[in-house]
Structures are given as C-alpha cells and as structure tokens.
Structure 1
C-alpha cells in the first residue's frame, strides 16, 4: 500500500513538472509566439499517458478491495480488466498524439478522438461498476441495529464511495463530451489536465478516512477491564537519557453495567 501511495505521488510530481515546464516554455521563454502556444510539447505524456496510468492504479486498488470484500474473484477480475483496457486506450491516445505531425492544442481532440473516446468511456464505465459493487457489498454486510458504531461507519464508507466515484465518473464523461462535441477546440484539455490528480486524491481520501481514535469515549455495554500502556520520551535525547526519563502510564477502565457507570483510574 505504501508503494502505491509513493507511486501515485511520484506520477503527480512528474506530471506537475512536465506541465510547469510547458507553461514556462510557452508563456515565458516564447511569450507572444502564437505557434509555440499551440504546440503540443509534453502534453502527450503528461496528460494522456500519466493520467491513464494513475487512474488505472486506483481502479486496480478498488478491484482488489471488491475481490476481498465480496470473496468473488470474478468481480475483481472484471474491474481489473476494465481498468487495464482503459489504461491501454489512454496510452494509445498519447502515442497517437505524439506521432501525429499535425497535432496541436486545437486539433488534438480530432487526431485522438477514437482513442480518447474509448479511454474515457471505459474509465467512466469502470468507475460506475466500482461504485455499484462497493455499495452493494457494503450494504449487504452492514450489521443494521446490531452495532451502531459499525453501522454508522459502514454508512459513511458507502457515501464516501459514492461521492468519490461520482466525481471521477462525471469528469471522465464531461471530458469525453467535450472531445466529441468540440473536436476543433481545446476545451477537453482543461479536464484532462486534472483527471489523474482527481483519481489520486480520491485514493488518498479513502486511505485517510481510516484514521480513527481507537478506544475513544464511546458507550460500552459489556463489562470488561482494559489496560493500555503508553511510553513518552523526548525526541532529541540519546538512548541513556531516554531510559532515565521514559515514563509509563497505564490506563485502566472499569465498566459497571448495573448502573451504566464508567470509572477511569490513572496509575
């Protein structure tokens, strides 16, 4: 999982560097040159190829999650195949844009219309399948009424899946619409520049949502005694000084179900 996060971060850095280089080249070094402004430069790599790879990585993550939660490999395999097919179409769009001698910002939608349409339509379809599968699986496994905390957390995951999946689907569909409806304009480039970062940010949202205060102040209905140990040490001390100043705090929670009274003793 860490390698996936670092990989997406590296792709975002590379994409930002390439887009920044092109912007400086057009608006800085060759300011006022209309021909240079309309040139393709590194757009074939920064927009088509990197966005396709970033989106595929996130979709493969959801394919794995669907396979684990549903215990049906066929569902995960279906999502993975759609993701890989979309990635191939996206890379093909970048290659077409690179090898076409007439391609510039005004005609890029025309020269890559077929490949871009296939790429964006498959990506949108894959996101829709992911959303349907995740919502269905989580809804069936939801323990309604048995554990309020688990039930509430599952509801939040369902809504989070719907929100993030809807965002990427809408952006992919709008980009495809702009590509088809305005082939001689550069409207589609606006959304193409950000679609990869939307996928990576949605992925980080899913991961960061897992942060939770464990053993917080929640209602406990069963009698139990729990102990936890915490070690505190100054970050700049050496090993000998740290062993002298290290403190240990034990927290014991006693729960009395008869009168719903909870007491915490610090020792």
Structure 2
C-alpha cells in the first residue's frame, strides 16, 4: 500500500530519513497489507463457494448483495496487489514511491467505507426483522450513512493531495474525515451487537433455561458479541494507529488495519449467511477428497433441536432459526462425523 496523508508534519519521508527510521518500518507495512489481504480474500472466496453451493434459491436481493460485496473485495485485492507490484517489482528501490497516495484512496478508503456500509445495512435489516422498530433501525442506518460519508470525504481529500508529505489545512481535514469514518463505523457495530443481543433475548422470553433452544440462542448471542466487536475493535485500532503511529519518528503500521477493515466486514457477513448450513461428514476417510458431504438447508436445522414443554410452538421453526442465525455476525458450521456401518 502507498502511504496516506497524516497530520504528522511536512515531508514524512524526509523526516523519516532524518530520524534514521528503519527501512522495514517503511517497506514492511505495505508488504503486510498485500499478504493479509490475499489471505482474507482466500477465506472470502471459500465462503462464497459454500454460499453458491448451499443457497441457490436465496432471494435475488440477498444474492445481489453477496456477489456485489465479493466483486468489491476482488477489486480492492487487485488494486492493493497492483500497488504492491509497483513498490516491490517495477518500482523496486524507489523509496519515494512509498510516499505516493496512488490508488489507496480508492482501494482502502472508498471501497472500505462502501463495503462496511453494505454489511451494516444487511445487519440493520436483520434488526428490523426482529424488532419491527423503524426508529432503532433508522438510528443505525443514520450512523452507517455518516460513516460512509466520512469515508467518501476522506477519499476525495486524499485523491486531491497526491502525496503523503502534503501539509496544511488539507491534512487536518483528512484527519477529521477519517476520524468520523472510523468512529461512527465502530459505534454502528457496537449498536448492532447490542440490539441483536437485546432482541434475541426478548424473543426467548418464557423459554426454559435448560432447553435446547436456550442453548442454541446462548451460543448465537456469544457469537454476536464476539464477532460483532471484531470490526468495531479494528476500527478503533485503525483510528488510534492513524493518530499515534503515523508520526515520522514512529512507523507506518497504521496502514495495516485500515487495509483489512473491508475484508473483515465481508467475511463476517458471509459467515453469518453461511451459518444456515450444516455439513455432515458421512465417511470414515481421513482425506478430504474422499469425504462426501450432505448440505442441510435451514429447514433441516430444526430437526436436530428438541424443545421442551415450556418452549413456544413457533420458536424452533425454520423461519425463527433462520432469523436468529442471520441476526448473528457468525455461527458455527457444525460438522458431525458418522461412522460407516460395518
């Protein structure tokens, strides 16, 4: 990745050379950005394949969202790879190249903000399904929209500066734009996790604490909290490292969390969607190529859950299970081994 603007003062690279900043602190972060992005893109590609195989009958709107997010992530990976090629291959040895904005304003800021907005909209819809509250969902969408605007403004300002050593009023505006983008994004993620926890607990009122339903819901709630805070934490880390580690006498590792935000959003969304499936391994073979798998659709999920007498009649319906799973950021993909009958 090329470097972004910061408010650390004039001529970042010049000051870095004056303070004898180790070369690895300049060249290392872009390298990590390329490696981590490709790794997460590989995970996302696997998630897309599972979705394609398991849910061919999903609604067109959901399919459009899934494939659109994947295409945006593919575009980001290509742009980041192109930047890496320019730094370490065609432009090898040119230290000044690390100070160019290049395509970062598109690949990191613009696409990152757009993917985050799409994913947050997806979760906002799930909250609407559970809560039926337009006020709550409207507040979440307003926060998500503010975050998107922050990323758009930041990307435009970065595209206009051209170099990371630009100083003056433009860098202050970039700091403000990036602060709005990351702060509102993390606030939106926390709000989503809190709302999903509250409404799922409300849905389970009257259900026995020892029932299988409660156990499933507890696992979903735990995953909501755990995975729902991943993107919020990354946004906070990005914001903190931007203001702390972008000083010329520190390092440029603030680039890494910024470049990974979009991949984290898209992966958590696909995992949440794919958590409706359950794989049953029906072979004793220890090699993956010999393991046949049966994909069970959402309506099959309720077959493995037994409710007790206190469970409401509809709480374990495929529709409710589908809603609860969609509402979470991630869920387990259950793998059950069945020994072949001798």
Equivalent-residue separation in structure 2 for 1:125 and 1:218 (angstroms):
35
Q: Which of structures 1 and 2 has the bigger CA Rg?
A: 1
Higher relative contact order (CA 8 A, sep 6+): 2
Equivalent-residue separation in structure 2 for 1:56 and 1:38 (angstroms):
29
- Verify: 1:127 aligned to 2:189, yes or no: yes
Give how far 1:5 is off: 0.4
Q: 1:118 to 1:48 in 2, by over 3 A?
A: same
Contact 1:40 1:103 in 2 (8 A): yes
Q: Look up the match of 2:219.
A: 156
Q: Look up the match of 2:64.
A: 3
Give the count of matched residue pairs.
222
Q: 1:138 to 1:105 in 2, by over 3 A?
A: farther
Q: Look up the match of 2:179.
A: 117
Q: Look up the match of 1:178.
A: 241
Give how far 1:218 is off: 5.4
- Coordinate RMSD, CA, aligned: 2.5
Q: 1:192 to 1:106 in 2, by over 3 A?
A: farther
Contact 2:186 2:236 in 1 (8 A): yes
- Verify: 1:23 aligned to 2:77, yes or no: no
Q: 1:33 to 1:70 in 2, by over 3 A?
A: same
- Gapped runs of 5+ residues in structure 1? 223-267
Which is worse superposed, 8-17 or 134-143? 134-143
Q: 1:216 to 1:115 in 2, by over 3 A?
A: same
Q: TM-score, structure 2 length as denominator?
A: 0.60
Q: Look up the match of 2:97.
A: 36
Q: 1:35 to 1:69 in 2, by over 3 A?
A: same
Structure with the largest fraction of strand: 1
Q: 1:47 to 1:104 in 2, by over 3 A?
A: farther
Q: TM-score, structure 1 length as denominator?
A: 0.76
Select 2:267's aligned residue among 194, 198, 201.
201
Deviations 1:64-93 (A, max 9, x none): 111120111111111111101100101111
Equivalent-residue separation in structure 2 for 1:74 and 1:220 (angstroms):
34
Select 1:141's aligned residue among 199, 203, 214.
203
Equivalent-residue separation in structure 1 for 2:212 and 2:221 (angstroms):
14
Q: 1:8 to 1:104 in 2, by over 3 A?
A: farther
- Gapped runs of 5+ residues in structure 2? 1-61, 279-295, 310-342
Q: 1:220 to 1:176 in 2, by over 3 A?
A: closer
Deviations 1:112-152 (A, max 9, x none): 21110111000011111111111011111115218923322
